[in-house]
Amino acid sequence: MRYAIIGSSAAGISAVEAIRSKDKEAAITVISDEKTPLYSRCLISYLLAGTIDKDKIWIRPDNFFKKNKVEAILGVRAEKIDTESKEVRLENREKIRFDRLLIATGSSPKLEDIPGKDKKRVFPLRTLGHAVEIQSVLDKVKSVAVLGGGLIGLRAAYALKSRGKDVSVFVRSPQILSQIIDKESAGIMQRHIEKKGIKIFTGRSAKEIKGKDSVEGLVLDNGSNIDCQLVVVGKGVSPNIETAKEAGIKTNWGIVVDQFLKTSDDNIFAAGDVSESYDIALEEKTINAIWPVACEQGRAAGLNMSGENQVYDGTLAMNSIEFFGLPVISIGITRPKKDIYKEIVRKNLDKNVYKKIVLRDNIIVGAVFVNAIEQIGVIGALIKNKVNIKDAEDIVLEDYFDYGKIVNIIKDSKGAFKQKEFTETIMTA
Amino acid sequence: MKKIYCDIKKCLGCGSCEIACAVEHSRSKTLDIAIKEELLPIKRRKAQFIDKGRAISTGCHHCEDAACVTACMSAAMYKDKKTGQTMHDADKCIGCWMCIMSCPFGALTRERQEKVIVKCDLCPDRDVLALPAGRPACVEACHTKALFLGTLEEFKVRT
Amino acid sequence: MSKPTGNSINDGLLKIASEKNIQTIWDRFHLQEPHCGFGTLGLCCKICNLGPCRIDPFGEGAQKGACGADADIIASRNLARNAAGGAACHSDHCRDLAVTLLELGRGKAKDYSIKDPAKLRKLAVEFGIKIENKNDLKIAEELGEAILKEFGQQEGELALIKRAPKKQVDTWRKLNVVPRGIDIEVVQAMSRTHIGCDSEYRHIIELAMKTSLADGWGGSMIATDLSDILFGSPQPVRAEVNLGVLKDDEVNVLVHGHEPTLSDIIVSASQDKEIIELAKKAGAKGINLSGICCTAAEVLMRHGIPMAGTFLQQELAIITGAVEAMVVDIQCVMPSLSEVAQSFHTKLISTSPKARFKGMEHIEFNEKDALLIAKKILKIAIENYKNRDRSKVNIPKEKMTLVAGFTMENIFYNLGGSFRKSYRPLNDAIISGRIRGVAGVVGCDNPKNQSGMCHADMVKHLIKNDVLVVQTGCSAGACAKAGLLTPESAFRFAGDGLKEICETVGIPPVLHTGSCVDNTRILTACCEMVKEGGIGNSIDELPVAGAAPEWMSEKAIAIGWYFVASGIFVVIGTPLRVLGSKTVADYICNDIEPVVGGKWAFEGDPIKAAELMIAHIDKKREALKLKPLMSNEAISYGAKRT
Residue B152 with chain A: CB contacts under 8 Å: 424
Closest by CA to C479, choosing from C455, C502, C461, is C455
CB contact under 8 A, B101 and A376: yes
Residues of A in contact with B94 (CB under 8 A): 43, 46, 51-52, 56
Angle subtended at Cα C561 by Cα C559 and Cα C566, rounded to the nearest 5 degrees: 100
Instruction: For A380, name the nearest residue in chain B, comparing CA atoms only.
Output: B104
- Which are the catalytic amino acids of A? 42
CB nearest to B104's CB, from A40, A60, A378? A378
Task: Tell me which amino acid residue A252 is.
Answer: N
Of the candidates A416, A364, A391, the one whose C-alpha atom is nearest the C-alpha of residue B51 is A391
* For B90, nearest residue in chain A (alpha carbons): A56
Nearest CA in chain C to B37: C58
Task: Give the residue ranges of DSSP H helices in A87-206.
Answer: 128-137, 151-162, 183-195
Is the confidence at residue B92, as pLDDT, over 60? Answer: yes
Confidence of residue A326 (pLDDT cuts 50, 70, 90): very high
Region of poorest pLDDT, from A184-188, A232-236, C449-453:
C449-453
pLDDT digits (tens, 9 = 90+) for B100-116: 999 999 999 999 888 99
How many Å lie between the alpha carbon of B97 and the closest alpha carbon of chain A? 6
CA distances from A58 to A5, A39, A340 (A): 20, 4, 44
Specify the pLDDT at position A391. 84
CB contact under 8 A, B40 and C34: no
> Three-state SS for C530?
helix
H-state helical runs in B25-84: 31-34, 67-71
Helix (H, G, I), strand (E, B) or coil at C515: coil
pLDDT recorded at residue C635: 52
- The DSSP code sequence of A262-276 is B-SSTTEEE-GGGEE
Looking at domain A122-233, which of 3.40.50.200, 3.40.190.10, 3.50.50.60, 3.40.1710.10 is its CATH number?
A: 3.50.50.60
Helices (H) and strands (E) in chain A, counts: 11, 26
What pLDDT does C419 receive? 63
The alpha helices in A39-146, defined as continuous H runs, are 44-49, 64-67, 128-137
Q: Residue A343 pairs with which residues in a beta bridge? A: A358
User: Is the distance from CB of C352 to CB of C240 less than 8 angstroms?
Assistant: no
Distant-in-sequence, close-in-space partners of A329: CB < 8 Å, separation ≥ 6: A318, A319, A320, A321, A367, A368, A369, A373, A376, B97, B100, B101
Q: Where are the domains positioned within chain C?
A: 8-54, 71-231, 243-392, 407-549+604-641
Contacts of A152 in chain B (CB under 8 A): none
pLDDT of residue B60: 97
**pTM passes above 0.90:** no
How close does chain B come to C34, measured CA to CA in Å? 6
Distances (CA, A) of B42 to B59, B96, C35: 12, 18, 19
Are A378 and B105 within 8 A, CB to CB?
yes
Chain A residues 238-257 with CB within 8 Å of chain B: none
| Residues A295, B156: C-beta atoms closer than 8 Å | no
Residues from chain B contacting residue A315 (CB–CB below 8 Å): none
In chain B, the domains with their CATH numbers are 1-59+122-159 (3.30.70), 62-119 (3.30.70.20)
A292 contacts A323 by C-beta, under 8 angstroms: no
Helix boundaries (H) for C386-495: 410-416, 424-432, 453-464, 473-481, 489-493
pLDDT computed for residue C9 by the predictor: 59
Same topology, domains C71-231 and C407-549+604-641? Answer is: no
- Using the Cβ of B107 and the Cβ atoms of chain A, whether some distance falls under 8 Å is answered with yes
Is B61 touching A (CB cutoff 8 A)? yes
Q: Which of residues 24-53 of A touch B (CB under 8 A)?
A: 40-43, 46, 51-52
How many residues belong to chain B? Answer: 159
- ipTM for the predicted complex comes to 0.96
| B39 vs C60: CA distance, rounded Å | 12
Among partner residues B19, B36, B140, which is closest to C38 by beta-carbon distance? B19
Question: Would the CB atoms of B75 and A428 count as touching at under 8 Å?
Answer: no
* Dist. CA A229–CA C605, nearest whole Å: 67
Domain with CATH 3.30.390.30 in chain A: 325-426
Residues of B with CB under 8 A from a CB of C: 14-16, 18-20, 22-23, 31-32, 34-36, 40-43, 109, 140-141, 143
* B50, B95, B104: residue with CB nearest A408: B50
The superfamily (CATH) of domain A325-426 is: FAD/NAD-linked reductase, C-terminal dimerisation domain (3.30.390.30)
- Find the mean pLDDT for residues A59-75: 94
Asked if B104 has any chain A CB less than 8 Å from its own CB, the reply is: yes
- Class of the domain covering A2-108+239-305: alpha beta
Q: Is B42 on the interface with A (CB under 8 A)?
A: no
Tell me whether residues B95 and A59 touch, CB distance under 8 A: no
Residue to substitute from A319, A421, A423, interface B, most B β-carbons within 10 A: A421
**For domain C407-549+604-641, is the CATH number 3.40.50.2030?**
yes
Q: What local confidence, expressed as pLDDT, does residue C632 receive?
A: 52
How long, in residues, is chain C? 642
Q: List C-alpha distances in Å: A182 to A335, A358, C177, C432.
A: 5, 11, 61, 82
**A60 inside 8 A of chain B by CB:** yes
Cα dist from C46 to B17, B32, B77, C60, C69, whole Å: 20, 22, 41, 21, 12
Cα-Cα end-to-end distance for chain A: 47
CB contact under 8 A, C36 and B143: yes
Residues of chain C short of pLDDT 50, as ranges, are 1-4, 633, 638-642
Q: Give me the pLDDT at residue C3, please.
A: 45
CA pair distance A342, A124, nearest whole angstrom: 37
Q: Determine the length of chain A.
A: 429
Q: What is the pLDDT of residues B115-149, one digit of tens each?
A: 999 999 999 999 888 888 889 999 999 988 899 99
> Could you tell me which of B75, B153, B110, C89 has the C-alpha nearest to residue A374?
B110
| Among chain B residues, CA nearest to C52 | B14
CA C344 to each of CA C249, C385, C564: distance values in angstroms, whole numbers, following the listed order: 17, 12, 44
**Fold topology of C71-231:** Substrate Binding Domain Of Dnak; Chain:A; Domain 2 (1.20.1270)
Residue A420 contacts B, CB cutoff 8 Å = yes
| C291 in Cβ contact with C470 (< 8 Å) | no
Mutant choice from A21, A303, A374 vs B, greatest count of B C-beta within 10 A:
A374
Nearest residue on chain C to B34, alpha-carbon basis? C58
Instruction: Answer yes or no: do B42 and C58 touch at CB < 8 A.
Output: yes
CB C18 within 8 A of CB C2: yes
| Nearest Cβ partner for B22 among C36, C58, C575 | C58
Helix (H, G, I), strand (E, B) or coil at C603: coil
CATH number belonging to domain C243-392: 3.40.50.2030
| C-alpha torsion sign, points C100, C105, C106, C109 | positive
